[in-house]
Amino acid sequence: MRVINVAAAQMGPIQKADSREAVVKRMIALMDQAKARGADLIVYPELALTTFFPRWYMTDQSEVDRWFEREMPNAATMPLFERAALHQIAMNFGYAELTPDGHHFNTSILTDKSARIVGKYRKVHLPGHAEFDAERAFQHLEKRYFEPGDLGFNVWRELDGILGMAICNDRRWPETYRVMGLQGVEMVMIGYNTPSVNAEKSEEGPAKRLFHNRLSVQAGAYQNSTWVVCVAKAGVEDGHPLIGGTLIVNPDGEIVVEAKTEEDELLVHSCDLDATAFGKSTIFNFAQHRRIEHYGLITSR
């Protein structure tokens, strides 16, 4: 058996005024719990170091850039990397990345057990809009602050398995999982920040949003016979509620653990990567059953 004992580290709200240092302390506390429960890997949310700043309309680029990290690790996150190396825990977390040549991405990284960065993913499916929209109950300006990711959906051979990453809105798109599925992915790590209410349809509240979260992740797991670890930043950030619902889904598409709160909360599950083999070699044996001659439209429009 190839087992990854994975910790899904849901985080409660991060307020605009909270410092990176204060957030990193919370992340370390979750990591200490993960270590005590024997975790090999800890998965944190999208934009784990800050509030979900794309809800705020900003016109001054220097104000925008304050939410971005110019290097990783940096002074604020170094204690997290040091603790990960001490505990020998691999980690995945999201942050806003500003590259040396001035590009802005919604990024997540994977480290190995010595806290060396071994993988990077930049969010491909950016939801929302680029200009202030007075019709919405609140703003979702990811298209203003980020460029679409330029790295594609890769997989990494780590922890004796094949691991992949995606970020938040990516989880709603079947292509996300399938591109990694075609590379044999055995565990997909996804962080998210999902508002509890639809800004364009107020009757769509938290129950529907949690349903869509489960539906998307369970389908992606089942249809590609992979584990999925999907981790929320939850709770009320400066008056703006985000759903919780962190969950781990097995390769049959079944939820094996799910968060109960909207606070910092750790879920730990032993994921047998060999359990992905049955689905991959039978109903979702892609080489045997896919009919790519009928799929051209997917990439042509």
Instruction: Supply the residues annotated as catalytic.
Output: 46, 123, 168
140 binds ligand CDT (CB under 6 A): yes
CB of 193 to ligand CDT, least distance (A): 4
Give the H or E element holding residue 31: helix 20-36
224 binds ligand CDT (CB under 6 A): no
156 binds ligand CDT (CB under 6 A): no
174 binds ligand CDT (CB under 6 A): no
- Considering only 110-118, 164-172, 248-256, 293-301, which stretch makes contact with ligand CDT by CB under 6 A? 164-172
CB of 190 to ligand CDT, least distance (A): 10
233 binds ligand CDT (CB under 6 A): no
168 binds ligand CDT (CB under 6 A): yes
Q: With CB under 6 A, what is the number of residues at the site for ligand CDT?
A: 10
Tokens of 300: 């042509």
Nearer to ligand CDT, 69 or 133 (CB): 133
Task: Tell me how far apart the alpha carbons of residues 78 and 82 are, in angstroms, rounded to a whole number.
Answer: 6
192 binds ligand CDT (CB under 6 A): yes
CB of 86 to ligand CDT, least distance (A): 31
51 binds ligand CDT (CB under 6 A): no
240 binds ligand CDT (CB under 6 A): no
Task: Write out the residues near ligand CDT by the rule CB under 6 A.
Answer: 46, 127-128, 140, 168-169, 172, 192-194
